[in-house]
């Protein structure tokens, strides 16, 4: 048969396009019934100097996943052509018009940065004392827009750290601050004869307590959300988390096992005490010494110092950068 | 600008326009955008003003026709055959011929652009393409008599 010929034209006005390579799971998302809005996030430039662990790159985010973006130059020229009528000798004809040329493509790869670590760097540590509030700190909105990770991952870490916002600044409470607040919550619930597991679904209880104790309402709400952080296992989640709080609020890196167990049990309502076993906290503790309890490396929301030191030591190029 | 949204394009869900049959079915995309890769740069003579006037009259975008593309082995009556993909010809002007083929992209590509009429940084995915036409050879010279006329 006679093959069709298509006039090939170059548009005078070149459009600006970016070519984005799609991993299979992203392709599936975008071609689904309800494709999501993606986000490109990059770290704000004014933060670059302060950050030690985050490189200044751009990431592409779905609701719950983050991809690192890498720009790859192409040696050939890639034309984006549009099927459009092209003028020929005898009037308009179906043809192809190159409307853009792309010198590079964007490749996506799995995100290698630690969302928790990045978030922690943007939060102000709050030890429960009103006077430590500084002028530093960013709003929750700013952090979500500037932290190079998906909103889902940030929300997850935000809840895990009991982060809260007061007056456009975001804080992460220290373990001691949580410990004191928890004691107040526990006492108030007992005084009212209420089950803590039931109280967790009652924001008004926490609001009232915040007022009585002179604590930020957002802080107690963050604790309430931490209790229901994982669906279903409220008592187990909270019991395990309180072990982290006890460990985190002790000054050393390890704690005598008897002291630890006593403080942990003190925090729990009678019904929960049977849950508080060493097995429960195995995932984040080092129990190799039978007389003590210590953090497993970079295990928790509070074990900040060791994990940070370990990660910055491994990044030799950043040490070079500092030395320059 | 720290955070830029990329909207999925509404056109991605629009069914193929059956009247637009200029490209083989495989290369057709909902919004009519496709990828062509050249191991060459196309230089066009300086634009003539008359050009722009002409196209403004017939409603097309200002453009310069540089050649002709053809799929010599493609038969629209057997769209499922793939043998035609091995041969694509692009004549540039009257004296140069590029020989190429249609290749499936290892990964689908999203064509992302700034959203029409948007003043903010909002981007949109204009198209998702799965195939490209590749001309990986340098242009070959051809005589006047061989090249088809536009």
Chain B: residue whose CA lies nearest to A87: B55
Please tell me if residue B55 touches chain A, with a CB cutoff of 8 Å: yes
CB within 8 Å of chain A, chain B residues 1-20 = 2-8, 12, 20
Give me A47's structure tokens. Answer: 């933060």
Chain A: residue whose CA lies nearest to B37: A78
For residue A210, name the pLDDT band (cuts at 50, 70, 90).
Answer: very high
Give me the pLDDT at residue A232, please.
62
Evaluate whether residue B148 is within a structural domain: no
Are A45 and B128 spatial neighbours (Cβ–Cβ below 8 Å)? no
Q: Which residues does A202 contact at the CB level (< 8 Å), separation at least 6?
A: none
| Mean pLDDT, rounded, for A212-223 | 93
Give me the pLDDT at residue B52, please.
47
Evaluate whether residue B116 is within a structural domain: yes
B2, B112, B150: residue with CB nearest A89? B150
Give me the pLDDT at residue B93, please.
82
Q: DSSP character for A288?
A: -
pLDDT in tens, B72-119: 888 877 777 788 888 899 998 888 899 999 999 999 999 998 887 767
Evaluate whether residue B25 is within a structural domain: yes
Evaluate whether residue B93 is within a structural domain: yes
A6 contacts B69? CB cut-off 8 A: yes
The DSSP secondary structure of A222-268, one letter per residue, reads HHHHHHTSSSS-HHHHHHHHHHHHHHHHSSSSEEEHHHHHHHHHHTS
Evaluate whether residue B147 is within a structural domain: no
Chain A residues with CB inside 8 Å of B69's CB?
Answer: 5-8, 96
Higher pLDDT, B12 or A204: A204
Q: Cα separation of A237 and A197, whole Å?
A: 11
**Bridge-partner residues for A97, per DSSP?**
A9, A82
Q: Cα separation of B47 and B42, whole Å?
A: 14
How many domains does chain B contain in total?
A: 1
Q: Cα separation of A314 and A303, whole Å?
A: 18
B39 contacts A82? CB cut-off 8 A: no
Give me the pLDDT at residue A231, please.
65
Give me A164's structure tokens. Answer: 């809260």
Q: Which residues does A11 contact at the CB level (< 8 Å), separation at least 6?
A: A97, A98, A99, B61, B62, B63
Give me the pLDDT at residue A303, please.
55
For residue A52, name the pLDDT band (cuts at 50, 70, 90).
Answer: very low
Q: What is the CA radius of gyration of chain A?
A: 27
Are A225 and A237 spatial neighbours (Cβ–Cβ below 8 Å)? no
Give the position of tokens 């072990």.
Answer: A243
Higher pLDDT, A91 or A186: A186
Give me A76's structure tokens. Answer: 């050939």
Are B95 and B147 spatial neighbours (Cβ–Cβ below 8 Å)? yes
How far is A154 from chain B, CA to nearest CA, in Å? 14
Are B107 and A23 spatial neighbours (Cβ–Cβ below 8 Å)? yes
pLDDT at A321 over 90: no
Higher pLDDT, B146 or A16: A16
Residue A47 zone, left/alpha/beta (φ > 0; ψ -120 to 50; rest) = alpha
Evaluate whether residue B149 is within a structural domain: no
Chain A residues with CB inside 8 Å of B136's CB?
Answer: 76
**Predicted complex ipTM:** 0.83
- Name the residue range of residue B39's domain: 6-141
Nearest residue to A243 via CA among A189, A296, A305, A172: A296
Q: Which residues does A117 contact at the CB level (< 8 Å), separation at least 6?
A: A53, A307, A308, A311
* Least confident span in A222-226, A268-272, A282-286: A282-286
Evaluate whether residue B146 is within a structural domain: no
pLDDT at B133 over 80: yes
Beta strands A91-110 and A17-21, pairing class: parallel
Give the position of tokens 């709080």.
Answer: A245
pLDDT in tens, A54-110: 445 789 999 999 999 999 998 888 999 988 887 777 777 788 889 999 989 999 999
Evaluate whether residue B150 is within a structural domain: no
Helices A217-227, A234-249: axis angle to 10 degrees equals 120
Are A120 and A161 spatial neighbours (Cβ–Cβ below 8 Å)? yes
Give me the pLDDT at residue B35, please.
92
By three-state DSSP, how is residue A3 classified? coil
A39, A83, A88: residue with CB nearest B150? A88
B41, B123, B148: residue with CB nearest A77? B41
Please tell me if residue A89 touches chain B, with a CB cutoff of 8 Å: yes
| Mean pLDDT, rounded, for A114-128 | 89
Please tell me if residue A92 touches chain B, with a CB cutoff of 8 Å: yes
Are B80 and B74 spatial neighbours (Cβ–Cβ below 8 Å)? no
* Least confident span in A31-45, A113-127, A267-281, A302-316: A302-316
Give me the pLDDT at residue B109, please.
94
Q: DSSP character for B15?
A: P
Nearest residue to B63 via CA among A295, A96, A206, A311: A96
């Amino acid at each position: 048969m006679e093959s069709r010929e298509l006039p090939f034209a170059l548009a005078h006005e070149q459009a600006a396009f970016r070519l984005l390579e799609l991993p299979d799971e992203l392709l599936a998302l975008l071609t689904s019934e309800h494709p999501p809005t993606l986000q490109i996030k990059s770290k704000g430039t004014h933060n670059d100097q302060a950050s030690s662990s985050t490189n200044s790159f751009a990431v592409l985010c779905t609701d719950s996943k983050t991809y690192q973006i890498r720009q790859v130059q192409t040696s050939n020229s890639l034309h984006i052509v549009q099927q459009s009528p092209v003028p020929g000798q005898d009037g308009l004809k179906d043809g192809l018009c190159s409307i853009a040329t792309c010198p590079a493509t964007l490749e996506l790869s799995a995100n290698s940065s630690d969302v928790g670590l990045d978030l922690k760097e943007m939060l102000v540590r709050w030890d429960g004392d009103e006077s430590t509030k500084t002028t530093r700190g960013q709003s929750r909105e700013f952090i979500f827009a500037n932290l190079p990770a998906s909103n889902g991952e940030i929300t997850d870490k935000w809840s895990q750290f009991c982060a809260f916002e007061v007056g456009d600044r975001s804080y992460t409470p220290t373990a001691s601050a949580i410990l004191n607040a928890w004691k107040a919550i526990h006492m108030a619930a007992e005084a009212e004869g209420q089950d803590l597991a039931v109280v967790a679904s009652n924001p008004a209880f926490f609001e009232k307590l915040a007022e009585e104790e002179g604590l930020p309402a957002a802080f107690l709400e963050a604790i309430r959300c931490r209790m229901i952080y994982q669906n279903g296992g409220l008592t187990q989640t909270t019991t395990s988390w309180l072990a982290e709080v006890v460990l985190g609020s002790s000054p050393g890196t390890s704690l005598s096992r008897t002291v630890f167990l006593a403080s942990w049990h003190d925090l729990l309502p009678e019904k929960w005490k049977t849950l508080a076993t060493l097995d429960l906290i195995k995932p984040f503790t080092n129990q190799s010494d039978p007389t003590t309890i210590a953090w497993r490396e970079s295990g928790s929301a509070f074990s900040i110092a060791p994990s940070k030191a370990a990660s910055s030591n491994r990044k030799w190029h950043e040490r070079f950068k500092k030395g320059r | 600008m720290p955070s830029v949204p990329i909207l999925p394009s509404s056109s991605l869900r629009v069914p193929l326009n059956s009247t637009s049959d200029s490209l083989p079915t495989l290369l057709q995309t909902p919004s009519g955008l496709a990828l062509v890769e050249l191991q060459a740069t196309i230089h066009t003579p300086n634009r003539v003003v008359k050009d722009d006037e002409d196209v403004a009259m017939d409603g097309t975008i200002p453009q310069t026709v540089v050649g002709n593309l053809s799929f010599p082995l493609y038969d629209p009556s057997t769209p499922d055959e793939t043998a035609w993909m091995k041969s694509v010809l692009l004549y540039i002007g009257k004296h140069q011929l590029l020989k190429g083929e249609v290749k499936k992209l290892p990964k689908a590509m999203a064509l992302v652009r700034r959203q029409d009429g948007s003043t903010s940084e909002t981007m949109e995915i204009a198209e998702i393409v799965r195939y490209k036409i590749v001309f990986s050879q340098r242009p070959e010279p051809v005589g006047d008599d061989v090249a088809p006329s536009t």
